[in-house]
């Protein structure tokens, strides 16, 4: 395997890490107006992701930085081509970032409501636009021979890419609801479970449809064969289906692992479909950017590889440690010895 | 057509400048207040004096309000290279992208993760481990600054590269990381951060003295602020000067412009103030105050040093790069240099006066000084902004010194309309963020505003 392919995989890994981790905090953010019954529960939801969202978002920063360093042509084409979409994403992410720190700085209900909505709109909006944006890499956008985007803003919206956006929103909401069943207690925990059940079927249906369509787009528009993209797609669909089953069986610890695997496989499906290209050009397929023609020279990639080999394991270690420090459930008084075991989910007597 | 193209580049520049300057209003306070809060928490852990804990919480809250905006606006910076400058990104990605990516992997990841641990870890971690998380954040934020400055310094003074097929390619990562320009810029910027942190902290203490609010508590913080501010402001004058020498050798045009020095001179006098003399048509100021030989010393380290003039340099560059105007905007560069330097001197005076008053045990009572210190909050902000204008506008017309011109580096895919829209959007959003930030900072810094109770931050949002 040469370094260009390695870095294509590393960037896919960063995106996957970003969506698996930020996916659930986006999900929690989306559910803020609907799940809690009072300000206390809302605070608990904020606290369930408060210590970790910032570290989760850095996965995006390194995905962007690594693209700049390893595939400058891809970075330039994608970021300038998706200009207005990225402005929207920046808007959503910025209002979301400040909402975490600023919301609790005043007791005023209007103030708190404002920043709660900022978080919700930011979470749902960012998920939606990321889904649309990344789907466009595969679906193809008009590029000229020097790799510059020649389309407009509305070129980014097609049936497939919009479905991608909706799939991201639903899957992250599902992922986030399951996360809440593991991090909260009492009534809030029960309602999280009910919400997860409510979201399971729509998320599976839309997510599954998107994955199948992705494989079709890969074949149709990117000169790929059905295999290998169908493999991660099948794993993702199976993982989401099993997650739904385990949510109904109240085993949310397993369900959360499965949605994480599902999101990881979804990103793997996208990138497997994309290979050997990084950004498909349509209608002029020949102008597509590829892993080879968009990459940096060998020396840069070698330096970056050394840095990644040292730091990626470290990142996984200390982020893992952070999650273990904050594993205790939140919301009202803490249960002594509360753990992540699914049995800690209280009985759901009101199950439909 | 030509007019349209230049508007696009201008808009892209205005947008990048606006968002960068705004971002850098919040970054240096983070760089400087971070270690100060960490020192206070360390002092609390060592002395068990509850007052240090209260001060840690008090200034820690201000630090966090500030960091939120620094993080939010930092994301814009990373995206904007590709968004506004795709030709530049393709040209420099091999070299410039590497330190940015390393910054994320080796510094920003640590900073963000450990910041979460510090904010929420008060009662989940042992006091020692909890304190360690803050120090980790501080070290990571400084490392982060280093990598960003390595990237920026490469645009000022490219090293360790070769140009292949119209792309700059890295040939030595060590040359990149040990770029003389970057090392000096790092020391200069980190000192600026410490000055930010200590001057803002001193001013907030003075605000409390002025209102007679918990004077004994804030006297401890004021002492710490002065211990940092006095050497930092003093060293900055020396370091700034050394940095100037690095600029002289890498970017002669920038130095000549910052002195409005049209003709080569030896020895050269330093212009303190002048009227006119800022354009090619009007090269001689109608009025000026100068100090003999000081410019020679500042630019070269010798009182006899030669400083090349703008006219001479323009001829040299034309010979080297072909016809064109290679001079930056002299008026802007001259004044940004002076505003920065004069603010630096003023801050040294504030720190020295404060230290003298503290020594005389009059710091809590000298009301004139309290008011002065409050005004001085503006000084580091003005100085840092002027400093970046000098650094970035002084490099023009180049985006990468000697390698790529700014007006050939923007994104062809991005239209004037998109740029106009997004510029309006950023200005609107940033004004709102700025107002909220100011209101919150004021509220939490104000005497008796939000009492620095040890419990406020320890159990956020779960005390029901």
Question: Which residue of B89, B105, B436 is in closest CB contact with A62?
Answer: B105
Is the per-residue pLDDT at B46 higher than 80?
yes
> How many other CB atoms sit within 10 Å of the CB of residue B151?
23
pLDDT above 90 coverage of chain A, percent: 84
Is the per-residue pLDDT at B463 higher than 60?
no
**Are B98 and A80 an interchain contact pair (Cβ–Cβ within 8 Å)?**
no
When pLDDT is averaged across residues A120-136 and rounded to a whole number, the result is 97
- Asked whether residue B70 is domain-assigned, the answer is yes
When pLDDT is averaged across residues B152-156 and rounded to a whole number, the result is 95
- Asked whether residue B354 is domain-assigned, the answer is no
Tell me the chain A residues in contact with residue B418 when contact means C-beta distances shorter than 8 Å: 83-84, 153
- Asked whether residue B17 is domain-assigned, the answer is yes
pLDDT band (50, 70, 90) for residue A350: very low
Is the per-residue pLDDT at B161 higher than 70?
yes
Mutate to test the interface with B, among A80, A142, A143, A155 (most CBs of B within 10 A): A80
Task: Provide the pLDDT for residue A233.
Answer: 96
**Are B89 and A50 an interchain contact pair (Cβ–Cβ within 8 Å)?**
no
Is the per-residue pLDDT at B450 higher than 90?
no
Task: Provide the pLDDT for residue A343.
Answer: 38
Tell me the chain A residues in contact with residue B420 when contact means C-beta distances shorter than 8 Å: none
Do you find a cis peptide bond into A283, omega within 30 degrees of 0?
A: yes
Tell me the average pLDDT of chain A. 91
Task: Provide the pLDDT for residue A59.
Answer: 95
Mutate to test the interface with B, among A297, A315, A331, A335 (most CBs of B within 10 A): A297
A positions 287-326 inside 8 Å of B (CB): 296-297, 299-300, 303-304, 307-308, 311-312, 315, 318-319, 322, 325-326
Task: Provide the pLDDT for residue B54.
Answer: 95
DSSP string, B115-141: HHHHHH-TTTS-HHHHHHHHHHHHHHH
pLDDT band (50, 70, 90) for residue A119: very high
- Asked whether residue B89 is domain-assigned, the answer is yes
To which H or E segment does residue B332 belong? helix B330-359
pLDDT band (50, 70, 90) for residue B2: low
How many domains does chain B contain in total? 1
When pLDDT is averaged across residues A213-235 and rounded to a whole number, the result is 92
Name the residue of chain B whose CA is nearest to A50's CA. B116
Task: Provide the pLDDT for residue A147.
Answer: 87
The domain in which residue B70 lies consists of 2-225+411-458
Is the per-residue pLDDT at B117 higher than 50?
yes
- Asked whether residue B280 is domain-assigned, the answer is no
For residue A123, give the nearest of A65, A182, A79, A177 by alpha carbon. A177
- Asked whether residue B378 is domain-assigned, the answer is no
- Asked whether residue B134 is domain-assigned, the answer is yes
- CA angle, A196 as apex, A192 and A201 as ends, to 5°? 165
Is the per-residue pLDDT at B283 higher than 90?
no
- Asked whether residue B201 is domain-assigned, the answer is yes
When pLDDT is averaged across residues B299-319 and rounded to a whole number, the result is 90
Is the per-residue pLDDT at B178 higher than 60?
yes
Here the ipTM equals 0.89
pLDDT band (50, 70, 90) for residue A1: low
pLDDT digits (tens, 9 = 90+) for A263-314: 999 999 999 999 999 999 988 999 999 999 999 999 999 999 999 999 999 9
Tell me the chain A residues in contact with residue B100 when contact means C-beta distances shorter than 8 Å: 65, 68-69
B positions 15-74 inside 8 Å of A (CB): 64-65, 67-69, 71-73
């Amino acid at each position: 395997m040469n370094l260009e392919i390695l870095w294509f995989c590393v960037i896919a890994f960063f995106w996957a890490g970003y969506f698996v981790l930020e996916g659930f905090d986006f999900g929690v953010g989306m559910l803020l107006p609907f799940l809690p019954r009072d300000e206390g529960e809302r605070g608990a939801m904020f606290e369930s992701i408060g210590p970790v969202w910032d570290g989760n978002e850095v996965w995006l920063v390194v995905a962007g930085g690594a693209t700049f360093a390893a595939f400058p042509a891809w970075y330039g084409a994608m970021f300038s081509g998706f200009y207005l979409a990225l402005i929207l994403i920046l808007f959503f992410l910025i209002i979301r970032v400040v909402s975490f720190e600023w919301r609790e700085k005043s007791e005023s209900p209007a103030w708190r409501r404002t920043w709660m909505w900022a978080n919700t709109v930011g979470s749902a909006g960012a998920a939606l636009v990321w889904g649309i944006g990344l789907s466009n890499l595969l679906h193809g956008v008009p590029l000229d021979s020097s790799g510059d985007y020649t389309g407009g803003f509305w070129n980014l919206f097609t049936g497939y890419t919009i479905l991608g956006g909706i799939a991201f929103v639903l899957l992250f909401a599902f992922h986030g609801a399951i996360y809440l069943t593991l991090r909260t207690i009492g009534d809030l925990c029960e309602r999280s479970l009910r919400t997860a059940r409510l979201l399971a079927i729509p998320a599976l249906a839309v997510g599954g449809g998107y994955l199948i369509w992705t494989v079709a787009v890969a074949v149709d528009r990117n000169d790929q064969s059905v295999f290998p993209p169908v493999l991660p797609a099948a794993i993702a669909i199976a993982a989401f289906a099993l997650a739904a089953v385990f949510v109904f069986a109240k085993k949310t610890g397993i369900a959360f692992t499965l949605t994480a695997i599902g999101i990881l496989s979804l990103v793997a499906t996208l990138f497997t479909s994309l290979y050997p290209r990084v950004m498909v050009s349509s209608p002029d397929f020949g102008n597509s950017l590829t892993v080879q023609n968009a990459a940096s020279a060998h020396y840069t990639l070698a330096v970056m590889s050394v840095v990644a080999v040292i730091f990626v394991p470290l990142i996984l270690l200390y982020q893992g440690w952070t999650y273990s420090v904050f594993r205790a459930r939140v919301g009202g008084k803490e249960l002594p010895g509360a753990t992540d075991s699914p049995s800690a989910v209280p009985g759901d007597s009101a199950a439909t | 057509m030509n007019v349209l193209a230049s508007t696009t580049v201008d808009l892209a520049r205005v947008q990048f400048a606006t968002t960068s300057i705004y971002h850098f209003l919040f970054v240096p306070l983070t760089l400087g207040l971070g270690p100060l809060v960490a020192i206070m928490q360390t002092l609390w852990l060592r002395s068990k004096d509850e007052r240090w804990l209260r001060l840690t919480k008090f200034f820690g809250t201000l630090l966090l309000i500030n960091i939120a905006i620094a993080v939010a606006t930092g994301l814009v910076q990373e995206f904007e290279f590709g968004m506004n400058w795709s030709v530049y990104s393709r040209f420099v990605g091999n070299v410039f992208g590497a330190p940015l990516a390393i910054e994320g992997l080796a510094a920003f990841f640590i900073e963000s993760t450990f910041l979460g641990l510090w904010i929420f870890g008060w009662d989940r971690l042992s006091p020692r481990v909890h304190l360690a998380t803050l120090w980790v954040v501080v070290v990571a934020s400084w490392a982060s600054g280093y990598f960003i400055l390595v990237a920026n310094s490469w645009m000022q003074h490219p090293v360790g590269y070769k140009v292949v097929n119209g792309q700059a390619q890295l040939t030595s990562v060590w040359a990149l990381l040990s770029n003389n320009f970057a090392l000096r810029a790092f020391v200069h910027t980190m000192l600026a951060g410490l000055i930010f942190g200590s001057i803002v902290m001193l001013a907030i203490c003075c605000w409390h003295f002025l209102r007679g609010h918990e004077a004994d508590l804030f006297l401890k913080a004021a002492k710490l602020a002065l211990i940092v501010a006095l050497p930092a402001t003093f060293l900055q004058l020396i370091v700034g000067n050394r940095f100037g020498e690095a600029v002289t050798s890498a970017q002669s045009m920038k130095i000549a412009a910052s002195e409005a020095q049209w003709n080569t001179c030896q020895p050269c006098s330093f212009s303190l103030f002048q009227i006119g003399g800022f354009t090619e048509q009007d090269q001689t100021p109608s009025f000026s105050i100068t100090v003999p030989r000081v410019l020679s010393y500042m630019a070269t380290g010798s009182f006899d040093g030669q400083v090349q003039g703008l006219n001479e340099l323009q001829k040299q560059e034309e010979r080297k790069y072909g016809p064109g105007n290679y001079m930056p905007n002299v008026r802007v560069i001259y004044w940004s240099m002076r505003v920065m330097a004069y603010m630096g001197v003023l801050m040294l005076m504030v720190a020295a006066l404060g230290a003298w008053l503290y020594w005389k045990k009059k710091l809590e009572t000298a009301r004139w000084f309290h008011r002065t210190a409050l005004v001085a909050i503006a000084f580091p902000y003005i100085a840092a902004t002027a400093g970046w204008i000098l650094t970035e506008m002084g490099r023009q017309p180049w985006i990468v010194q000697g390698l790529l011109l700014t007006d050939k580096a923007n994104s062809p895919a991005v239209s004037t309309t998109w740029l106009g829209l997004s510029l309006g959007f950023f200005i609107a959003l940033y004004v709102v963020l700025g107002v909220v930030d100011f209101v919150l900072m004021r509220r939490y810094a104000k005497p008796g505003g939000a009492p620095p109770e040890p419990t406020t931050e320890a159990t956020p949002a779960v005390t029901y």
